Chains A and B, each alone.
Chain A
Amino acid sequence: NAGVTQTPKFRILKIGQSMTLQCTQDMNHNYMYWYRQDPGMGLKLIYYSVGAGITDKGEVPNGYNVSRSTTEDFPLRLELAAPSQTSVYFCASSTTNTGELFFGEGSRLTVL
């Protein structure tokens, strides 16, 4: 049972490039989330989804897009990468709305 899997683990982008962070879960969870973690700032919610075909913005959605075509997958798209998007990105999932999240191991992105 793999849980939540994120790829890639590390990536360096140049300013203006685009990329997609992949996230897949094998627990049949309806709820999925993307957070970013910056030193001293905790984790900030970027986007979330309550089921296939349904997504909504979190606290810091600017510069990002998501889609949820299946229960398992929740990719995060970065368009026109900026240095401010240098961060560690975490995907998470949950089976209920209780706040008990299962996190992936993170994707470290550097924009130069």
Chain B
Amino acid sequence: QQQVKQSPQSLIVQKGGISIINCAYENTAFDYFPWYQQFPGKGPALLIAIRPDVSEKKEGRFTISFNKSAKQFSLHIMDSQPGDSATYFCAATSGSGNTGKLIFGQGTTLQVKP
């Protein structure tokens, strides 16, 4: 019940296209869903995050869509650029007494071809 399942494992998109990465969870106590971006040789960095009281959050070209009833959330990257090529991790946690421990998905390696 603590798992977060992420797909696809890898993704190749043409420049200007839309990249979509999906995640699913089972623990209904989760109330914070961040996405992290990781470039080779670097640590992950927070990209965008959502709480379940909204169905969508947009920051620039990055959008999280959240479906509470289906227990799924996804990251959409619009107008994908070669600089977006990185590994993306979804994650989840519950705030109440959980000390912020994140449960990460397996990761998606995105390659944006010029």
Is the pair B42, A96 in contact by a Cβ cutoff of 8 Å?
no
Give the total of A residues in contact with B, Cβ under 8 Å: 28
Is the pair B99, A100 in contact by a Cβ cutoff of 8 Å?
no
Docked CA distance A4–B43 (Å): 10
Q: Which chain A positions have C-beta within 8 A of B42?
A: 105-106
| Nearest chain B CB to A43 CB, angstrom units | 4
Is the pair B107, A105 in contact by a Cβ cutoff of 8 Å?
no
Docked CA distance A42–B98 (Å): 20
Decide if A104 is an interface residue (CB 8 Å cutoff): yes
Stretch at the interface among B11-19, B44-52, B55-63, B76-84: B44-52
Decide if A61 is an interface residue (CB 8 Å cutoff): no
| Nearest chain A CB to B59 CB, angstrom units | 14
Q: Of the candidates A35, A40, A41, A96, which one forms a contact with B100 in the assembled complex, judged by CB atoms under 8 Å apart?
A: A96
Q: Of the candidates B9, B34, B95, which one forms a contact with A40 in the assembled complex, judged by CB atoms under 8 Å apart?
A: B9
Decide if B68 is an interface residue (CB 8 Å cutoff): no
Question: Per DSSP, are chain B's interface residues mostly helix, strand or loop, or mixed?
Answer: loop
Docked CA distance A99–B46 (Å): 9
Decide if B106 is an interface residue (CB 8 Å cutoff): yes
Residue numbers of B with Cβ under 8 A of A are 2, 4, 6, 9, 32, 34, 41-46, 49, 89, 91, 93, 95, 98-102, 104-107
Given A43-B44, A50-B99, A94-B100, 14 additional A-B pairs, CB 8 A: A31-B99, A40-B9, A40-B107, A42-B89, A42-B105, A42-B106, A44-B104, A45-B101, A45-B102, A56-B99, A99-B49, A99-B91, A99-B93, A99-B102
25 A-B contacts (beta carbon < 8 Å): A4-B43, A33-B101, A35-B104, A40-B106, A42-B4, A42-B6, A42-B104, A45-B102, A56-B99, A58-B101, A59-B2, A94-B100, A96-B100, A97-B99, A97-B100, A98-B32, A99-B32, A99-B34, A99-B49, A99-B93, A99-B100, A101-B100, A104-B43, A105-B41, A106-B42
